[in-house]
Structure 1
Amino acid sequence: MNLLEAKEGEKYIIKEIITDDEELNAFLFSLGCYSGEPITVISHLKGGCVVSIKDGRYNIDSDLAQAISI
């Protein structure tokens, strides 16, 4: 399951980040988005979704949301 399939307001645990792009991996890690971390989908938008990771809220696009397995 990825973030686009997640229900709004529920807390999930990140299983893995599915990407070959090292730059993207490093960016997500800097946000606190890595395996084992809790993540909550605040809302779904047309081009992606708003998520809460640790103490921050981030707007991520659909390609990035698909790369995050929960």
Structure 2
Amino acid sequence: MMPLTMADVGEPITIKRVGGREETRKFLENLGFVTGGTVTLISQVGGNVIVNVKDSRVAIGKDMANKIMV
């Protein structure tokens, strides 16, 4: 298991765990980051990432991305 920020660009990956405080987890769940879901890393700049999740592109910061374990 590793944080989303360490994943390879372009490969579909499965989310294994979403960490953080309750409100952080709820926020990420509302964006589509749920355990067992599949995301694809599109690009990464300075730890900030853009991912495809549920047919949408979502940009999240490094702190949030480090809470998503894949």
TM score, norm. by length of structure 1: 0.92
Residue equivalent to 2:5: 4
Q: Could you say what secondary structure the match of 1:39 adopts?
A: strand
Q: Letter of the 1:52 partner, please give it.
A: N
Residue equivalent to 1:49: 49
TM score, norm. by length of structure 2: 0.92
Residue equivalent to 2:17: 16
Alignment root-mean-square deviation, CA: 0.9
Cα drift, residue 31 of structure 1: 1.2
Unaligned runs of 5+ in 2: none
Name the % identity: 38
* More displaced 10-residue stretch of structure 1: 26-35 or 7-16: 26-35
CA–CA distance in 2 between the matches of 1:16 and 1:47?
Answer: 19
Q: Could you say what secondary structure the match of 2:33 adopts?
A: coil
Q: Letter of the 2:43 partner, please give it.
A: S
Cα drift, residue 67 of structure 1: 0.4
4+ aligned runs moved over 6 Å, structure 1: none
CA–CA distance in 2 between the matches of 1:17 and 1:47?
Answer: 17
Residue equivalent to 1:69: 69
